Chain A
Amino acid sequence: MSHTATNPLVPTTTAHDPRLAARGLVKRYGPTTALAGVDVDLGEGEALAIMGPSGSGKSTLLHVLAGILVPDEGTVRLRGRRVEGLSERERSLLRRGRYGFVFQHGQLLSELTALENVAIASMLDGEPRASAQQLAAQWLATLGVAGEQDRRPGEMSGGQAQRVAVARALVTRPDVVFADEPTGSLDQATGQEVMRILVESTRAVGASLVVVTHDASVAAWCDRRIDVRDGLVVAGQGPVCGAAPVAGVGHAGTTSVRTTSTAQDRVPA
């Protein structure tokens, strides 16, 4: 490991090792440096917001953390295991099996129904179709879109489609959920509702969450937030990473998450 120096903005973990740990990430596109040496730790069950203006490198950071892009320098460890050097195929398997994704829009397969879109994620993991669809139906019910299960993405509203996308991201019980501007194509109220569902249900399955956004009200739902400018982390806020979410108190978002959480928001057993 080439970069072991600690960044003051990313405190070393104490009680828990981070679930996802990145050190010294550098990513260049030709003459442009998108990431200029970034360290990130993501704790067990932690929700982390990555903020920054357009062109700051925040999406590149998400892609490198998620194994979509390979960094030019630096390391990414998932539960202590290095993943940045895996082959394309291994990274695909990693993304499919251990990660979940929520994009801005257009990620649902347009010919499949909502139910099938969720079910296909577990079918890819080897789940038989019948039980995959059963599980998918439970998830859709939990996220409040049971009535949409036979509709196709083109027939749903943006908010409904994002709920289905959240269900699809979580149905495989991933270690980490990556969300890239998940509310980017939604109005303010719907966006807040989708964030509530995303944060609560991710926490309920014990997954960690990384949200890339330029919207502070979206970032406020997360336990912690880092700001990226010109490929560097320039500011961090929130508790020490690695702290279990139950221990996180007193920062934006968390309190309201907890108070609005009700029995019906819990994921299916």
Chain B
Amino acid sequence: MNPVLALAPRFGRATGRDGRTTTALAIVAFALTTALATSVLAATLGFVERAAHPTSGVEERLGDTYVLLAYVATVLLVVPLLTLGGAAARLGVARRNDRLATLRLLGATPREVVGLTLVETATQGIVGAVAGTVLYVALLPVWTSVPFLGRTFTADELWVGPGVLALVWLGVPLLAVASGAVTLRQVVVSPLGVARRVRPPALRAVRVVVAVVAFAGFVVVSMFLQAFAAAAAAILIGGLALAFAAVNAIGPWLLGVAGRRRLRRARTPEDLLAARRLLDDPRAVWRVVGGLSLASFVAGALAVVPVLAEQSAGDADTRLLMQDILTGALLTLLIAFLLAAASAGIAQAASVLDRRRELALAHLAGVPTELFDAVRRREVLGPVLAASVGSAGLALALFFPLFGLAALTAPQGLLLLAVSLGAGVLLVLAATESSRPLLRRVLADPVVRAD
């Protein structure tokens, strides 16, 4: 075996407390990604199965529509899922930069350095995938308690089977390795180490391409599904997809604009630092709040569902469909919030560890711990509020002409929206605050020589 790669297990053992923290965080993130991805996949497959083998009249009539809606939910969750998985991989790799730069100086080839790190990242991915599968099984009772199409899923219906599990166990480590490899490019470029936080290159064009591809994907998927009896639904969903793409494309740019504005107006040290961190990498901030934004957009769009339900009071099928859309949307929203919260927590932990030396030295020079707490809150709260309230507001504005003032006559939808957004924002903030003990540990650690 290559002598450098043979070092992998030793490094795994010798990483110290920070290393263990990041490894644990990465594994938790991979596990959460796996569990929620498998659950979403399971529900989608469950609806496909129901549509293929309907057991009741209503399943026969509405089965295909539900499959379509399940696909919509899945597509909505792909971005947050990939974000969390990618964040976990980046966390693991970024923390190893110093050590890898040293290895490069000692003469390890780029290939060996990359290999060594990716072996570790893949290992974390595999462990996370296995743990996530256990979590998926543990979550089955939750999903089987939610009724769709008039009856709940059985655990059997939601069991994805060994084939899908094998795919997941392969897919999660692959995703980890791919994200890790992208992050590693910085280390490999120069043996003299990594320029800290180089400004990332502009990716606007790429983002638009991705948005277009996603939209085209929607169209293709909907053409394959012969479920478009209701053309209006296709237009609705297509419109949604387009709006998501637009929101995702302009989100980071908007955050950058907001950051510059905040920087100009900053009066206190905490405002100044928070604005600078936002400006430093608006894309990274968007990665955290982007999922939240999509989910909030859905929530905003669905705030009008009770109005629809009321308008179609006569038809039992439509009433059931509206009820289930609301249930499904709330589940999607919940999962999106969980993923966004986990991403935010991981991002904060990574930020603390990446800045550990400057934070500790600033603390030695008398900068109070509370300042960093205040910066963290300001750093997260603004973008989270803007992404969730802004996106929900955009959805409401877009759909308002469709439903007119009727929306105002059914305020329960808006109430539901406000409550779920509030809960989601609190969840993200709570996850962010979880890096508080880590910050204190880093500040208490004498980074300067003990001599």
Which chain A residues have a beta carbon within 8 Å of chain B's beta carbons?
29, 34, 54-60, 63, 66, 68, 89, 92-97, 99-101, 103-104, 106-112, 116, 120, 123-124, 128-129, 154, 169, 180
When C-beta atoms are compared, the residue in chain B nearest to A169 turns out to be: B365
Which chain B residues have a beta carbon within 8 Å of chain A's beta carbons?
195-198, 266-269, 272-273, 276-277, 279-280, 355, 357-358, 361-368, 371, 446, 448-451
Contact A59 B364 (CB under 8 A): no
A60-B450, A60-B451, A63-B448 known; A124 and B269 CB under 8 Å? yes
Chain B neighbourhood of A66, CB < 8 A: 364
Chain A neighbourhood of B272, CB < 8 A: 112, 116, 120, 123, 129
User: A34 to chain B: closest CB distance in Å?
Assistant: 8
Chain A to chain B: the 7 pairs with minimum beta-carbon distance, closest first:
A96-B366, A95-B366, A107-B361, A101-B365, A111-B276, A106-B357, A111-B280
Q: Can you report 29 residue pairs joining A to B where beta carbons are below 8 Å apart?
A: A29-B450, A34-B450, A59-B449, A60-B451, A63-B446, A66-B364, A92-B363, A95-B365, A95-B366, A101-B361, A101-B364, A101-B366, A107-B361, A108-B358, A109-B273, A109-B362, A110-B196, A111-B276, A111-B277, A112-B272, A120-B272, A120-B273, A123-B269, A124-B269, A124-B367, A129-B266, A129-B267, A154-B195, A169-B365
When C-beta atoms are compared, the residue in chain B nearest to A53 turns out to be: B451
User: A158 to chain B: closest CB distance in Å?
Assistant: 13
A68-B364, A96-B365, A99-B366 known; A180 and B448 CB under 8 Å? yes
Contact B451 A58 (CB under 8 A): yes
Bound CA–CA A56/B449 (angstroms): 11
User: B212 to chain A: closest CB distance in Å?
Assistant: 33
When C-beta atoms are compared, the residue in chain A nearest to B275 turns out to be: A111
Chain A neighbourhood of B197, CB < 8 A: 110-111, 154
Within the complex, which residue of A58, A96, A111 is in contact with B273, where a contact is CB–CB below 8 Å?
A111
Bound CA–CA A94/B267 (angstroms): 23
User: B348 to chain A: closest CB distance in Å?
Assistant: 15
Bound CA–CA A74/B189 (angstroms): 51
Chain B neighbourhood of A68, CB < 8 A: 364
Within the complex, which residue of A55, A58, A107, A124 is in contact with B358, where a contact is CB–CB below 8 Å?
A107
A-B CB contacts (within 8 Å), total count: 92
Chain A neighbourhood of B280, CB < 8 A: 111
With A96-B368, A108-B358 known, 4 other A-B pairs at CB within 8 A are A92-B366, A93-B366, A103-B361, A116-B276
Bound CA–CA A57/B451 (angstroms): 5
Chain A neighbourhood of B266, CB < 8 A: 129
A56-B451, A106-B357 known; A154 and B196 CB under 8 Å? yes
Contact A59 B358 (CB under 8 A): no
Contact B269 A120 (CB under 8 A): yes
Bound CA–CA A129/B266 (angstroms): 8
A59-B449, A59-B450, A110-B196 known; A96 and B358 CB under 8 Å? no
Chain B neighbourhood of A111, CB < 8 A: 197, 273, 276-277, 279-280
Chain B neighbourhood of A128, CB < 8 A: 267
Bound CA–CA A158/B169 (angstroms): 46
Bound CA–CA A237/B191 (angstroms): 43
Chain A neighbourhood of B269, CB < 8 A: 120, 123-124
User: B30 to chain A: closest CB distance in Å?
Assistant: 28
Contact A112 B267 (CB under 8 A): no
Bound CA–CA A55/B362 (angstroms): 24
Bound CA–CA A95/B363 (angstroms): 9
Contact B267 A110 (CB under 8 A): no
Bound CA–CA A257/B198 (angstroms): 38
Chain A neighbourhood of B279, CB < 8 A: 111
Chain B neighbourhood of A100, CB < 8 A: 365
User: A52 to chain B: closest CB distance in Å?
Assistant: 8
Chain A neighbourhood of B277, CB < 8 A: 111
Contact B366 A55 (CB under 8 A): no
Bound CA–CA A110/B362 (angstroms): 11
When C-beta atoms are compared, the residue in chain A nearest to B267 turns out to be: A129
Bound CA–CA A40/B325 (angstroms): 75
A55-B451, A123-B272 known; A107 and B365 CB under 8 Å? yes
Chain A neighbourhood of B446, CB < 8 A: 63
User: A44 to chain B: closest CB distance in Å?
Assistant: 22
Chain B neighbourhood of A60, CB < 8 A: 450-451
Within the complex, which residue of B198, B364, B449 is in contact with A154, where a contact is CB–CB below 8 Å?
B198
When C-beta atoms are compared, the residue in chain B nearest to A67 turns out to be: B366
User: A94 to chain B: closest CB distance in Å?
Assistant: 7
Chain A neighbourhood of B448, CB < 8 A: 59, 63, 103-104, 180
Contact A59 B368 (CB under 8 A): no
Within the complex, which residue of B195, B358, B366, B368 is in contact with A109, where a contact is CB–CB below 8 Å?
B358
Bound CA–CA A100/B280 (angstroms): 27
Bound CA–CA A106/B267 (angstroms): 25
User: B302 to chain A: closest CB distance in Å?
Assistant: 38
Bound CA–CA A106/B357 (angstroms): 7
Bound CA–CA A63/B364 (angstroms): 9
Chain B neighbourhood of A89, CB < 8 A: 368
Contact B371 A124 (CB under 8 A): yes
Contact A112 B276 (CB under 8 A): yes
Contact A97 B366 (CB under 8 A): yes
Bound CA–CA A212/B195 (angstroms): 28
When C-beta atoms are compared, the residue in chain B nearest to A228 turns out to be: B451
Bound CA–CA A180/B446 (angstroms): 13
Contact B361 A106 (CB under 8 A): yes
User: B281 to chain A: closest CB distance in Å?
Assistant: 9
Query: Of B272, B365, B368, B451, which is in contact with the most chain A CB atoms at under 10 Å from its CB?
Result: B365
When C-beta atoms are compared, the residue in chain A nearest to B276 turns out to be: A111
Contact A110 B364 (CB under 8 A): no
Bound CA–CA A86/B198 (angstroms): 41
Bound CA–CA A116/B263 (angstroms): 11
Bound CA–CA A94/B371 (angstroms): 16
Chain A neighbourhood of B357, CB < 8 A: 106
